[in-house]
Structure 1
Amino acid sequence: MLSNGIKYLDVPYVAHTLEADGPEELVINCDEVDCTTLVEYVLAETLTPKLADGDISESAFADNLQKIRYRDGKIDGYTSRLHYIADWINNGVRNGFLQDVTGAMSPDTERLSISYMSSHPQLYKQLANSPENVAKMKKIEQSLSGKEVHYLPKAKLPADGLPWIKDGDIIAITTNTPGLDVAHMGIAFYADNKLLLVHASSTDKKVVVSKVPLSQMLKDNNKWTGIRVLRMKK
């Protein structure tokens, strides 16, 4: 995961690359990423076996990406895409390619209260003019809400990380923004005895390694509450 993530350094940050006109389809754009699509592309590449020439099959990569991005790998309209990271994590665990490390290692839990997309439809092109999609999204939100998930509160994350957080782990940053579960994502990277984050930064407008430890990033943002840690399973 980490070596594939590092290859994306300096790739431009571009939001909304998946919001194409027309029917929902699998978008592959590794030249412009946001925090989620970066993690998806890196995970899909890492899950895809290398061919004899050291490259990977584009069709196998696309198949893996579809399994990661869509509920049980099936594209069936806008709401089949895993917009909420809690849903994205559940899908990865259920389908055997992600392990919820915080679920095993952190006793702290939070109860999900998910409503952001259906309560802000004007922010999403495919919701703004589709009451049908808003209704479908509301059902998905209701199915996630009320569930307890394990997370690591930011006060419990030291600058040098923790033994159970490994290079290449996926970091999902939890938030207190009403109706949302996760605000940002990246890949864990240890350097100089500090736990850093490889991530697509909207501030730096590209993929970077964080200049400060992940613990400091969390402290500096009062909307960020902690992290969920996921690990790829092959």
Structure 2
Amino acid sequence: MPKLSSFLRPLIAACMFALVAPVVTPSHASGLPFDTVFKGRKQFDALVAQADKWKNLPIGQRVAEIGRAQAGTHYKSFTLEIDNRIEAPSVNLTGLDCWTFFETSLAFARMLDEPKENWTPQTMLKYIELDRYRDGKCTGSYLSRLHYLEDWLHDNNRRGMVKDLTRDLGGVPAAHDAVEMTKAWKSYRYMAHNPDLRAGIAQMEARVASEPLYYIPKSQVAGIESHLQSGDIIGVCSHDGALIGTSHVGLAYRTNDGVLHFMHASAPHNYGKVVLDQRLSDYLYHFRSDAGIMVARPLK
């Protein structure tokens, strides 16, 4: 995932589950080598070795504990830029950015609902696909990926994968825009090698900008922290003049003393690794540009 810009950074970043896992195209069908789409087998096996203690937890707590187990993983951008043309679900557990941190925690947690013999990299990739792509399906096209966090939230909420709690917790509407990828298209490997993608990206951004965006102002976050749970996905929104846009994302984690912390992959100019940071409401005052949060709760 590319380094986040100052505003509306696309965090480079289905159907309801039935009694069996949803049918999705396996990542190896892309034709890319498996060691291209999955990196970090040692880290994966270390998580699997601990998974018995997590598998019976509610999904949110499961996500939080898996995230906590990844603390210390160094920050790495651009891990989704794996090819010049073929888009495919991918995992890199050797380095995480803010988006891949929460989505790998979520995908691994969902995988634990499967029989233990299915706790494999291939199964984890299946759940990455379910989360990362529009309607839970990677078509092989860069345009099928959910590039903006607000778009991810809308799509996954619509499919019943998560519950958008932002408005229920006092979220207010905000003027927003989505232009980062069009402006900085040369920074994105797929777009740089396929300039014809620019028109489709511009159409996607126009649609994202046309949808309502709600956020909870940071002055109100301390008052709603008691309603948040470990494993809730916390999208940070930032100011850019009169507009608001998504700028960062992480997980809520409540420690034994009852304090709700922000857990995230922090960029190199800060910690440069996955950290359990300070209380969420305090964290938001560390950066003047931070305006507030969006909240998504994993449902399954």
TM-score by length of 1: 0.90
CA contact (8 A) 1:111 1:146 kept: no
1:223 to 2:285 alignment: no
Q: How far is the alpha carbon of 1:223 from its aligned partner?
A: 2.0
Corresponding residue SS for 2:225: coil
Paired residues, what number? Answer: 232
CA distance in 2, matches of 1:184, 1:84: 11
Q: How far is the alpha carbon of 1:57 from its aligned partner?
A: 4.1
Corresponding residue SS for 1:181: strand
Percent identical: 28
Partner of 1:141: 205
Partner of 1:200: 265
Which ranges of structure 1 fall in alignment gaps of 5 or more residues? none
Partner of 1:188: 252
CA distance in 1, matches of 2:295, 2:125: 24
Partner of 2:119: 56
Task: Tell me which amino acid in the other structure corresponds to 1:201.
Answer: S
CA distance in 1, matches of 2:175, 2:216: 13
Q: How far is the alpha carbon of 1:29 from its aligned partner?
A: 1.1
CA contact (8 A) 1:175 1:224 kept: yes
Which of these residues, 161, 182, 206, is aligned with residue 118 of structure 1?
A: 182
- 1:130–1:220 distance in 2 versus 1, CA, 3 Å: same
CA contact (8 A) 1:72 1:91 kept: yes
Corresponding residue SS for 2:146: coil
Q: Which portions of structure 1, spanning 4 or more consecutive aligned residues, are displaced by more than 4 angstroms?
A: 50-55
CA distance in 1, matches of 2:111, 2:252: 20
- Residues 97-116 of structure 1: per-residue CA shift (max 9 Å, x gap): 11001132224122331111
TM-score by length of 2: 0.71
CA distance in 1, matches of 2:244, 2:126: 28
Q: CA RMSD in A?
A: 2.1
CA distance in 2, matches of 1:48, 1:21: 26
Task: Tell me which amino acid in the other structure corresponds to 2:287.
Answer: N
Which ranges of structure 2 fall in alignment gaps of 5 or more residues? 1-62
CA distance in 1, matches of 2:184, 2:219: 31
CA distance in 1, matches of 2:69, 2:117: 15
Out of 26-35 and 174-183, give the one that drifted further: 174-183
- Residues 137-191 of structure 1: per-residue CA shift (max 9 Å, x gap): 1100111113223211011112x85222111111000122478731111110123
Q: How far is the alpha carbon of 1:4 from its aligned partner?
A: 1.1
Q: How far is the alpha carbon of 1:55 from its aligned partner?
A: 7.3
- 1:18–1:52 distance in 2 versus 1, CA, 3 Å: closer
Partner of 2:130: 67
